[in-house]
């Protein structure tokens, strides 16, 4: 059976299948169907290990960016600016005032994708999974391209106070500069700790890091 025939057969099965009672009453959309959609989410997911159902709860930023009506509205630019300002205000700066850690430790964090799954333990250290979206070190042959290349980042940005704060804010809470960024809010969401963010900062900005060689 060709791919097109498989798709057609699957579509026929989907449309022929009886719809749940809540879907038959009205079309999906804001308002009346919100409760039914929430019920579907709760019935379709279950907690396991460290993964809890509270991950399904959206904050204001997530709710805005996942709603195409709001994010594409005429006043979306104003709303985005307000969201970015709120997320920037929530950034926690280095407690000791030092932005740079160990770039060698930062490389290990960037390489690691461990954490946040049901098979992980609560006391395990999460990774940054940075190479999943970025090229960072030219010597690394496996990397994603969803985000921009960060090779030579420190050479380009320097280590001025502005560069340090801009980079820290982006790693800690990416929504502080792009309301609907695909980049995880590493510090804000508790994925990475302060020292881990410092080490990633060093990876990007330390002149001796392979990123800047």
Q: What is the pLDDT of residues 155-165, one digit of tens each?
A: 999 999 999 99
Give start and end residues of each alpha helix (H) in the chain. 3-16, 21-25, 34-44, 60-65, 68-71, 76-89, 103-111, 153-157, 161-172, 194-205
CA 156 – CA 154 distance, rounded (Å) = 5
For position 12, what pLDDT does the model report?
Answer: 37
**DSSP tag of 134:** -
Domains of the chain plus CATH, in order, are 19-51 (no CATH), 103-212 (1.10.760.10)
Choose the weakest-confidence range: 9-13, 163-167, 198-202.
9-13
Whether the pLDDT of residue 5 is over 50: the answer is no
Q: Categorize the per-residue pLDDT at 10 as very low, low, confident or very high, splitting at 50, 70 and 90.
A: very low
Q: Categorize the per-residue pLDDT at 20 as very low, low, confident or very high, splitting at 50, 70 and 90.
A: very low
For position 212, what pLDDT does the model report?
Answer: 96
In a 13 Å sphere around the CA of 173, the CA atoms on its Cβ side amount to: 20
Looking at every residue in the chain, the average pLDDT score rounds to 86
| Percent of the chain surpassing pLDDT 90 | 74
């Amino acid at each position: 059976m060709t791919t097109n025939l498989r798709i057609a057969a699957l579509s026929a099965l989907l449309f022929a299948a009886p719809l749940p009672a809540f879907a038959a009453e009205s079309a999906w959309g804001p308002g009346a169907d919100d409760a039914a959609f929430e019920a579907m989410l709760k019935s379709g997911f279950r907690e396991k290990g460290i993964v809890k159902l509270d991950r399904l709860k959206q904050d204001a930023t997530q709710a805005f960016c996942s709603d195409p009506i709001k994010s594409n509205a005429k006043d979306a630019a104003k709303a985005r600016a307000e969201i970015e300002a709120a997320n920037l205000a929530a950034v926690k700066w280095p407690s000791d005032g030092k932005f740079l850690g160990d770039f060698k430790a930062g490389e290990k964090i960037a390489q690691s994708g461990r954490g946040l799954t049901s098979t992980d333990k609560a006391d395990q250290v999460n990774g940054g999974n940075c190479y999943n979206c970025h090229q960072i070190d030219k010597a690394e042959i496996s990397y994603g391209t969803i985000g921009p290349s960060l090779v030579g980042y420190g050479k380009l940005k320097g280590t001025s106070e502005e560069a340090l704060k801009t980079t820290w804010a982006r790693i800690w809470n990416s929504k502080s500069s792009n309301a609907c960024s695909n980049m995880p809010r590493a510090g804000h969401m508790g994925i990475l700790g302060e020292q881990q963010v410092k080490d990633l900062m060093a990876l990007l900005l330390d002149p001796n890091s392979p990123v800047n060689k």
